[in-house]
Amino acid sequence: MSKSTNTNKEKKPEKTGPKTGAQAVVASLEKAGVEVIFGVQGGAIMPVYDALYDSKLRHITMGHEQGAAHAADAYGIVSGQPGVCIATSGPGATNLITGLADANMDSVPVLALTGQVPTNFVGNDAFQECDTIGVSNPVTKANFFATETESVGDVVSLAFLLAKEGRQGPTLVDLPKDVTIGEISNWEYKPPELPDHVEIPSVADEEIIRSAAATLIDAKKPVILAGGGVIKGDACNELYKFAIEFEIPVVTTMPGIGAFPEDHELSLKPAGMHGTGYANMALTHCDVMLAVGTRFDDRLTGGVDTFAPTAEIIHIDIDPAEISKNIHADYELVGDAATVLMQLYKEMGSKPEASEWLDQIKAWKQEYSIEYGERESDGKPRPQYIIEELCRATDSDTIVTTGVGQHQMWAMLYWTYKKPRTWVSSHGLGTMGYGLPAAIGARFAADDDQKVICIDGDGSFLMTLQELSVAVREELDITIVVLNNAGIGMVRQWQDAFYDHRRMASEYPWVPDFSKIADAFGAKGFLLDDVENVESTIKEAIGYKGPSVIDARIDPAENVFPMVPSGGANGLFALTEKHLEEL
């Protein structure tokens, strides 16, 4: 009778339609095209799980609900369709919150379903009751408390639709047990429609388009800033066409990684706190910036006072609230990224005269190259080198997920991203522990021949390690590379730079052997501590069919550069510790 989560169930005879609220919930997911959901069982959500028993939907039991939310998030990034996670009431729901906050910050389509105590218990502090709507209000795009069995299926359909329409984001439906247990008299699935008052902007104001185009044509030092919205809005082809045709260099934000191929000569890679020196120089000195699908996060802008201080800014975004929120836009273009880019494209009579600027940028690329020199430090392989080797050993459609910290920044700098939806990371919330569950979610959304690699830190890995059991149980082909510096390196780097080397709670006196942990879980573990073995270990781990973990011992003294101290001027990035002292 046990339903294992990874076997295909034999076909049941055709049913006449959902008979309970829970069955309507499941039917709505099926109709929306959902194939896999990530979750953890529990009392208040049991009716929905019971309905899943009869469904073709694949349910992946995660080790922790946070893992379920991150897996759904990564699924959403890679597939472009809402990832679905499910949890019980109370602790199940609160455990989802970090993952939902993460998805909210990074505008990722996610649908969360949470069990709730029966309606007549709500408000009485019942067992495992939590005000999930209240708790999730600030971290969801929209949330719904289901009140009627008859309409619960429609509410789920609407929440799914809202997660992906317009600016994407997480939505949640709270499902009281009586609502899901209740019997339906007559409900049929209807494709959801947006409420009348919800308008999703598409085409931008033609007059502003004309004046923005004129400004861009006149630019002497133009730059494009491509944010995550370019990828989420499926506007990468339009952006490429635009940049190539008008010869405009492209800087990305972190979520925008993959929006433009980094091996193209117009690519400057990401700007910001640990962005490349040349990207930060370009933003600081440009005279016109075409910013697409970005919210000008402070990790990108550094100090607002010194951000692109000479630039007129043309800002395209589907969410008007992001325009002129952090950085004032001289041209506000509200609309769909792909559509508006093409509107602008058509208005551009000619390309800007910017040959001097393009030469300058070429020179900056040389001057501020991210070449790191030695492959080895203190007898150990350097993280930059490991990442370059990983990139070399895999195809350009390989998906990279990360935790948060130094390893994330090296993964950003030293991998060459060529395609959208191959960079899967936690940006706005900066959630340690994101990498492994994200690799699991990404695995389900990726094509079978696409590789999935998680580049993790030892601290981040320890936060959601239990999800390795899922990877083993579900026989997922993922490779986890732990850049093990025996501590929470990013914090240690800040302490050295800004707290007079007072390393409070950042160095681990002891770290487990992650290769042995992998073996104990039933994954394949590798220990990597010799620079000569980097290539061969990577080859073996990637070749292994199933989850593998490389415990890569690196020099704990490694720091991430370039670096803009928080609130500092992007153009004054430090390339060395000595530069930091100068600032």
Total of chain residues touching ligand TPP, rule CB under 6 A: 18
Beta carbon nearer to ligand TPP, 115 or 459: 459
- Partner touching 432 among another protein, ligand TPP, none, CB below 5 to 8 Å by kind: ligand TPP
Nearer to ligand TPP, 462 or 542 (CB): 462
Q: How far is CA 570 from the centre of its chain?
A: 23
Interacting partner of 256 out of another protein, ligand TPP, none (Cβ under 5 to 8 A depending on kind): none
Q: How far is CA 50 from CA 23, 47, 343, 439, 459, in A?
A: 9, 5, 50, 28, 37
Nearer to ligand TPP, 34 or 490 (CB): 490
Q: Judging by DSSP bridges, how do beta strands 58-61 and 312-317 pair with one another?
A: unpaired
> What count of other Cβ atoms lies within 10 Å of the Cβ of residue 530?
14
In the complex, the smallest distance separating the C-beta of residue 70 from ligand TPP, rounded to whole angstroms, is 11
Cβ proximity to ligand TPP, 249 vs 270, nearer residue: 270
170 DSSP β-pair partners: 110
- CA-nearest of 343, 336, 308, 310 to 211 is 343
Which residues have a Cβ under 8 Å from the Cβ of 554 and sit 6 or more positions away? Answer: 377, 380, 381, 382, 383, 386, 483, 484, 485
Residue 363 interacting entry, from ligand TPP, another protein, none, C-beta within 5 to 8 Å by type: none
Of 228, 98, 108, which Cα lies nearest the Cα of 171?
108
525 three-state secondary structure:
strand
- The residues annotated as belonging to the active site are 65, 127-128, 177, 490
Site for ligand TPP in 379-408 (CB under 6 A): 403-407
Rounded to an integer, what distance in angstroms lies between the CA atom of residue 292 and that of residue 316?
A: 5
When asked if residue 485 is in the footprint of ligand TPP (CB under 6 A), the reply is: yes
Find the shortest distance in angstroms from Cβ 482 to ligand TPP: 8
Provide, rounded to whole angstroms, the least separation between the CB of residue 436 and ligand TPP. Answer: 11
For position 213 contacting ligand TPP by CB under 6 A, the verdict is no
Nearest to 467 by CA among 390, 531, 406, 521: 521
3-state secondary structure of 217: helix
Strand pairing report for 331-334 and 376-377:
unpaired
Closer by beta carbon to another protein, 17 or else 123 = 123
DSSP label at residue 184 = P
Stretch that binds ligand TPP, among 39-47, 156-164, 198-206, 481-489 (CB under 6 A): 481-489
Q: Which residues bind another protein (CB under 8 A)?
A: 133-134, 137-138, 142, 145, 162, 195, 197-198, 277, 281, 284-285, 296, 304-307, 309-310, 319-321, 324-328, 367-374, 377-378, 496, 556-562, 569, 571-579, 582-583
Q: Residue 132 or 406: which CB sits closer to ligand TPP? A: 406
- Looking at 320, 430, 522, 565, which residue binds ligand TPP (CB under 6 A)? 430
Residue 430 interacting entry, from ligand TPP, another protein, none, C-beta within 5 to 8 Å by type: ligand TPP
Residue-wise over 306-327: b if at least 16 C-beta within 10 A, else e? Answer: bbbeebbbbbbbbbeebbeeeb
558 binds ligand TPP (CB under 6 A): no
Minimum distance between the CB of residue 557 and another protein, rounded to whole angstroms? Answer: 5
Angle CA 412–284–331, to nearest 5: 100
Distances from the Cα of 192 to the Cα of 28, 135, 157, 158, 196, angstroms: 10, 26, 6, 5, 12
Q: By CB under 6 A, is residue 549 in contact with ligand TPP?
A: no
Residues lying near ligand TPP in the complex (CB under 6 A)? 403-407, 430-432, 457-460, 483, 485, 488-491
